[in-house]
Amino acid sequence: MRQLLIFCLFILAVCACDADQSSAPVLASAADIEESEFSMSIMDVFSIRDNGTILTGQVASGSLVVGDVVCIPLKSGETAARTVEGIEMFRKFLDLAEKGQSVGVLVEIDEKLVEKGTLLHHNYELDEVSE
């Protein structure tokens, strides 16, 4: 009986993982981003009063440094460029985020504009930050 319960929980967990992956909208795919460039799927978005907005997720490729400019896909279909003001991992502030780390990226943008499940990435063609 115990083994059957464990098996059912395993099947339920696998089905839940598949459902989460298929329902997330994707505006830019990982194939569009070079392996050496920074990219991170935005899993959650929330604001911190008087600080900015935190974009959380796991770094899929490349690395990110405080002060870098990132492209943020918006719900309107446009992309906003913002400067990274901070990086945090499990209540520890970092100067650098690398592939495989689960981090929160602090930027100044309205949380209601950001599309969850999209790909946060570098755009090296941008010379200045758009407002």
3-state secondary structure of 120: strand
Full DSSP string of 92-110: EEESEEETT-EEEEEE-S-
> Does 9 fall in a domain?
no
pLDDT in 10s for each residue of the chain, 131 residues: 444 444 444 444 444 434 444 444 444 444 444 556 899 999 999 998 888 999 999 999 999 999 999 999 999 989 999 999 999 998 899 999 999 999 999 999 999 999 899 999 987 554 444 44
> Does 98 fall in a domain?
yes
> Does 12 fall in a domain?
no
- The whole-angstrom separation of Cα 2 and Cα 114 is 44
- The whole-angstrom separation of Cα 83 and Cα 92 is 20
**DSSP letter (8 states) at residue 74:** B
Q: What is the pTM of this model?
A: 0.68
> Does 69 fall in a domain?
yes
Q: Which domain holds residue 48?
A: 26-122
> Does 19 fall in a domain?
no
> Does 47 fall in a domain?
yes
CATH number, domain of 91, equals 2.40.30.10
> Does 89 fall in a domain?
yes
Give me the pLDDT at residue 55, please.
Answer: 96
Number of domains in the chain: 1
> Does 35 fall in a domain?
yes
